[in-house]
Amino acid sequence: MKIKEVSVLYGQYPPLERAYRDFAEHTLASLAGPFARLAYLASLRDFARDEYAHWGMENIHGPAATQTALTRLHGEVFREVSALPLAELAGQVRQYLDEQPDGGRILLRNWRTGLIDPWLLPPAASPLEAENFRINITAVLEVLEKQGVGRAEATEGEAGQGTGPQGTPGSQEKQQG
């Protein structure tokens, strides 16, 4: 879609609403489910500046509308994911992991080290929302790991790093012990 088409299509809305609708209806709608949308929005957030970075959105809608729209969308999608029944959340996470080049092995390893939960949270998540999400995602990821999701043989570069075939810290010691 060309910039002119976007402005004509969303011309009746104020700038913030145009940015919000453009991103929601074009970018997020093309992703496979709420968890994939959450992961994508989280990946746009620069933790050092606590801002979102999306060149195309900033170019079309300006930095202020982009920040506000992406912050709002991140919160909404986070709450949507948090409200999913655990079975549906597990399916969403499994699909997301399966779509990763390594089948999700590295993401599962990073989750075990505590890097994933805070990364997915929107800036305005309350402590209660954060804890609820952590509990749910922990349960889902443990079930998926037991089902073998993300399991692959360690690569040469990982063999000496204390990770085993499942990519979990300490699994090498369990195998030896």
Within 10 A of 115 (CB to CB), how many other CB atoms are there?
11
Q: In the predicted model, what is the mean pLDDT of the chain? A: 79
The alpha carbon torsion through 129, 135, 141, 143 (nearest 10 deg) reads -140
Residue 69: which pLDDT band, with cuts at 50, 70 and 90?
very high
Which DSSP helix (H) or strand (E) runs through 93?
A: helix 86-98
User: 3-state DSSP call for residue 163?
Assistant: strand
Q: Give the C-alpha separation, 27 to 1, whole Å.
A: 11
DSSP 155: P
Tokens encoding 140 = 């889902």
Which DSSP helix (H) or strand (E) runs through 80?
A: helix 63-82
- Which pTM was predicted? 0.76
Residue 10: which pLDDT band, with cuts at 50, 70 and 90?
low
User: 3-state DSSP call for residue 61?
Assistant: helix
90-98: average pLDDT: 92
Task: Check pLDDT > 50 for residue 165.
Answer: no
